[in-house]
Amino acid sequence: MEPVVLVFIAVAAFLGLRWHRGSRVNYGVITGAVEAMEKAFSPRDKTYINIGGVVGYNFVYELDPPFRKLEGTIVTLPRQAVLYLPISRWLLKREDMLLFTLYCGDLKTGRGHIVEAARFENRTIPVEDRDSLSVTPAEYPERSFVVLWYNPLVRDRLRAMLDRFSGRARRGIRYLGYYGSEGHMAFTVNPGDPELPALLEEIRRVAGDTSAP
């Protein structure tokens, strides 16, 4: 057999093995995140829509008070695409992401954001109108954040929310957006976080307290 054929077979086998292994890891991340989300928020109705094999899912939950609805997306690293994975992870600085918007029964008006400081600096978590917002550092032993705000009352409200989270939860939060006038909060966390179930329970608790009358 020609050497070039052997090389082709070896490369094809390697790519196939990495595709299978990467797909299995992504499937585990997705199923683990789904189980944690359902346990934390106990949806009375739920819808999942696949967005590309083992790349991720969109989902919608109908919830009981003090919440109304949750809309989310799970997006995983392209572990099954061995040639693109290094670009995605190291050049684009991506990670697995669980993004969800939690619609609440009642929120005080105002808008602001909490962003992990490192991701704010490298802009891997975009924030609309970031250049028109005031920025206040929020330092904790577990992680550094920045609080972006228009109104000092919202700044203080967001700092109070951060304070109510445990250190374990603050390690897992990448982004928290507060949209009081629109009646929702947005969160970004890592779905592969081994402490995800506890983190989601804390988010439900803190957001529920914030949205209570």
Per-residue pLDDT, averaged over 116-125, amounts to 90
**The pLDDT of residue 194 is above 50:** yes
Predicted pLDDT of residue 1: 55
Predicted pLDDT of residue 3: 60
Predicted pLDDT of residue 22: 58
Predicted pLDDT of residue 209: 83
Range of the domain at 179: 3-211
Q: How many domains does the chain have?
A: 1
**pTM for this one?**
0.84
Higher pLDDT, 93 or 97: 97
Predicted pLDDT of residue 21: 62
Q: Which of 83, 36, 81, 31 has the alpha carbon at shortest distance from 57?
A: 31
Cα separation, 79 vs 112, in Å, equals: 34
